[in-house]
Amino acid sequence: MTTSVQNDRVQSSFAGWDADGDGRIDRADWEADAKRILRAFGEAPASPAGRALSAAYLGLWDFLAKKAGIDAHTGALTPEQFKAVADDHIVGNDGADFAKALTPAIKALIELADSDGDSQINPREFMTWLKAVGVRTSEMGTPFAQIDTSGNGQLSTEELVQAVRAYYLGEVDVPILGH
């Protein structure tokens, strides 16, 4: 059973990914989101980092489409289908299969935001990340501290993956992927 916070976050994500506003999410919406993020980072879509982010975002779309039982190339998710997939595979079922699908996207975002090349995200890089994915950080207290579970001042891939699920569970207030 999901809470109202979880439902609100799923609905907000759906609305954010519905780039064309037609009330459904399809492959083109995910492609548009990846391009929007690349523009925000000033990264060319044809660059290695741009191709990695685009492929990872389409991998997430493929995961959602498969779990909903629709064709990833021609199908579209309704809000109800998206909620069912989120309830079953992000919020419920320990999120393990979603984490596998999410990890390449997190790694691609780290590559874009990691200005010092240490494969982790420091507080400054994290703020750049959040701005690029469209999060208004002025409305959050200390977003970095909510996610830095190790307390080492750096965010690892694992912490960021866990933070996405924790956001949907209502445990943290930081929408790592935007929306």
Domains and CATH numbers, the chain: 4-169 (1.10.238.10)
Which among 173, 172, 139, 134 is positioned nearest to 16, based on CA atoms?
134
CA dist., res. 87 & res. 119, Å (int): 31
pLDDT tens digits, residue range 23-45? 999 999 999 999 999 999 999 99
CA dist., res. 170 & res. 167, Å (int): 5
- Residue 47: pLDDT band (50, 70, 90) is very high
As a whole number, the mean pLDDT across the chain is 92
pLDDT tens digits, residue range 129-139? 999 998 887 66
- The sign of the CA dihedral 152, 156, 162, 166 is positive
CB atoms within 10 A of CB 153: 11
H helix or E strand, kind and range, residue 53: helix 48-68
Average confidence (pLDDT) over 165-178 = 90
Q: Is the predicted pLDDT of residue 173 greater than 90, yes or no?
A: no
Q: Is the predicted pLDDT of residue 141 greater than 70, yes or no?
A: no
Q: Is 31 exposed, middle or buried (0-12, 13-18, 19+ CB in 10 A)?
A: middle
pLDDT tens digits, residue range 69-106? 999 999 999 999 999 999 898 888 788 889 999 999 99
pLDDT confidence of residue 113 = 96
Look up residue 106 and give its amino acid: I
Contacts of 7 (CB under 8 A, 6+ apart): 83
Rg (CA), the chain: 15
Contact present, 142 and 113 (Cβ < 8 Å): no
**Largest alpha-carbon pair distance within the chain?**
44
pLDDT tens digits, residue range 142-164? 788 889 999 999 999 999 999 99
Which among 2, 112, 6, 8 is positioned nearest to 57, based on CA atoms?
112
- The sign of the CA dihedral 84, 89, 90, 93 is positive
Q: Is the predicted pLDDT of residue 140 greater than 80, yes or no?
A: no
